[in-house]
């Protein structure tokens, strides 16, 4: 257990529906990252928060995606008008206990769009 | 452009048969190279960080080494429970997030 939790673990939705995922990072860590992983690929960066500020967004993050981190604590990732290509594992990560460069990942949310 | 390439894509070993996984990287200023283990349906589990050429880290049957262009994950006398996908990632001075390779899927049979 890395201390990073994600909810839900699995989500099945129909194309066109909106979905929201939640990440609770290791407490008191100001950095939080979202990644997406498709089958046979390594995780790909989506977006990064320092406290409540969203400092960087990948080109993978289309305008249907939005992420927030109110009060610099938990974070949410919302996908609007889901498409089948959005089916993937969505991973959240935060630094480890030493606040070093290592990133510790949560269990992920598996999204299936039918 | 920062890039990570892992080989082989898949590796099948007999229990006790030692081998190595390769991670080649090109990066503009390496801040760290990381190895993760990922089991099916789970998030990546952190294994090692390497910072500079010549550095080595060990954990149980795993040993990670680093040169200026590549890293190796050596697996000594593997057991079936070592079966997983092993991911390599780099953190560069030019970027914010980790850049991952596609991983090597290791299967160890008894």
A64-114 per-position pLDDT tens digit? 999 999 988 899 999 999 999 999 999 999 987 776 788 999 999 999 999
Q: Closest residue of B to A104, CA-based?
A: B46
Distance in angstroms (rounded) separating the CA atoms of residues A84 and A112 = 8
Q: What rounded mean pLDDT belongs to chain A?
A: 92
Q: What angle do CA A86, A106, B48 make, to 5 degrees?
A: 115
Q: Does residue B24 sit at the A interface (CB-CB below 8 Å)?
A: no
Q: What is the CB neighbour count within 10 angstroms for residue A85?
A: 9
Say if CB A89 and CB A110 are below 8 A apart.
Answer: yes
Range B10-37 average pLDDT: 96
Minimum-distance CB partner of B49 among A2, A33, A102: A102
- CA-based radius of gyration for chain B: 13
Q: Could you read off the pLDDT of B72-108 as tens digits, one per residue?
A: 999 999 999 999 999 999 998 877 889 999 999 999 9
Q: Which pLDDT value is given to residue B107? A: 98
**Alpha carbon B62 to chain centroid distance?**
10
Q: Which of B23, B42, B44 has the most A C-beta neighbours within 10 Å, making it the best mutation to test the interface with A?
A: B44
Minimum-distance CB partner of B102 among A2, A42, A56: A42
Which residues lie across from A24 on neighbouring strands?
A: A5
Q: Which pLDDT value is given to residue B28? A: 87
Q: Which pLDDT value is given to residue A73? A: 87
Least confident of A31-45, A90-104, B13-27: A90-104
Range B37-49 average pLDDT: 96
In angstroms, the separation between the Cα of residue B53 and the nearest Cα of chain A is: 17
């Amino acid at each position: 257990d890395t201390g990073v939790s994600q909810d839900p673990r699995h989500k099945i939705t129909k194309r066109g529906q909106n979905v929201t995922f939640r990440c609770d990072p290791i407490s008191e860590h100001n950095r939080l990252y979202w990644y997406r992983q498709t089958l046979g690929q390594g995780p790909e960066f989506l977006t990064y928060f320092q406290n409540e500020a969203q400092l960087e967004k990948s080109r993978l993050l289309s305008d249907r995606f939005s992420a927030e981190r109110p009060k610099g604590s938990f974070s949410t990732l919302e996908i609007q008008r889901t498409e089948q290509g959005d089916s993937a594992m969505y991973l959240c990560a935060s630094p480890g206990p030493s606040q070093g460069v290592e990133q510790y990942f949560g269990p992920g949310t598996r999204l299936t769009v039918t | 452009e920062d890039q990570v390439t892992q080989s082989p894509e898949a590796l099948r070993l007999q229990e006790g048969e030692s081998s190595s996984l390769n991670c080649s990287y090109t990066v503009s200023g390496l801040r760290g190279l990381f190895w993760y283990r990922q089991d099916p349906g789970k998030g990546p589990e952190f294994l090692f960080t390497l910072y500079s050429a010549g550095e080595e880290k060990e954990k149980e049957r795993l040993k990670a080494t680093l040169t200026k262009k590549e890293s190796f994950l050596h697996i000594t006398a593997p057991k079936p429970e070592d079966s997983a996908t092993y991911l390599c990632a780099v953190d560069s001075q030019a970027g914010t997030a980790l850049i991952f390779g596609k991983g090597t899927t290791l299967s160890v049979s008894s």
